[in-house]
Amino acid sequence: MAEGQLLIPPLRPGAGIAVIAPAGPPQPGRLEPVEGWLRERGYAPALLPSCFGPPPLPFLAASDAVRLADVHTAFADPRFDAVLALRGGSGCIRLLDGIDGDLLAASRKLLIGYSDLTVLHALRDRAGIPSLHAPMPASDWGLPGAQPDTDALFDRLARGWRAGDLVGHVAPQAAHPLTHGGAARGRLIGGNLAMFCALLGTRYLPDVDGALLFIEDISEEPYRVDRMLTQLRLSRVLDRIAGLLVGSFSGAESPDAVLADHLPRLRCPVLAGWPTGHGQPNRPLPLGVMAQMDAAAGKLTLG
């Protein structure tokens, strides 16, 4: 891959952004500012019907039919240059067998989101198209302490991503004790650990052979993290990846003891303490692109 090759094009001023709610509903007061936030950044937003409900179940933003239709509209309508998830939560996996795979494979539009969006990132990866694990408006934007993450997202959207770009690094003084090994190169996949594990045994799991797997999670007690890591081990995923990138685990008792039990057994390099996940910081992370991970130096470089 040539140095400087464009991997994810910039999102130019005035670009149309479709905002969809393929998972959970926004909390009260979190929907109204979204359009203004995007206009302030120079984009042309459109909030699609799934953002407005009504939720047929408390954890779903709208019916499966409405949410599915919005996914198709967002990727098919030429007015839109990118697709932004309103928030995560739960529900994306209910849509997988109804999504038009040919439509998604034909569209190069950037999908932006994280958490429950992990399963939609997997679809994009299977189509050979990059996506972006990044803060979402109803989950992160405007919250105390979240401004640096939001600024980092829009800065990178304006510049795009090229081969050779440094995605980020973990400073030596902040090196995680579970980091080990040297360098590894592979396609970045993954996201939320629970949602990635939910894809095991389905036809939607990304190709893990030689990949760099990123994991993070929220509100998962240590015994559940242990169960999911064991599931990855028993399914041989952890034997097949080239490297493991570990983001934040927040919202529950720390699973550090569980991670310390599992990660040193891995034969591949591990870079832990990566500043991406449900907590802060939550820096944007491209998925579905080739990257070089240098665990010893704490760096991740595209290409």
CA distances (Å), origin 124, targets 119, 128, 293: 9, 6, 22
Rg of the chain in Å (alpha carbons):
18
The residue from 107, 121, 176, 216 that is catalytic is: 216
The residue from 107, 115, 131, 248 that is catalytic is: 115
The residue from 121, 176, 262, 278 that is catalytic is: 278
CA dihedral 9, 12, 18, 19 (to 10 degrees): 90
- Nearest one of 283, 284, 277, 302 to 292, comparing CA atoms: 302
Active site residue 180: no
CA distance 282 to 23: 19
Active site residue 216: yes
- Tell me the two tokens of residue 36: 């203004």
Active site residue 121: no
Which stretches within the chain are classed as H helix?
Answer: 34-40, 64-76, 101-106, 118-126, 147-159, 193-198, 222-234, 237-240, 256-262
Catalytic site residues?
115, 216, 278
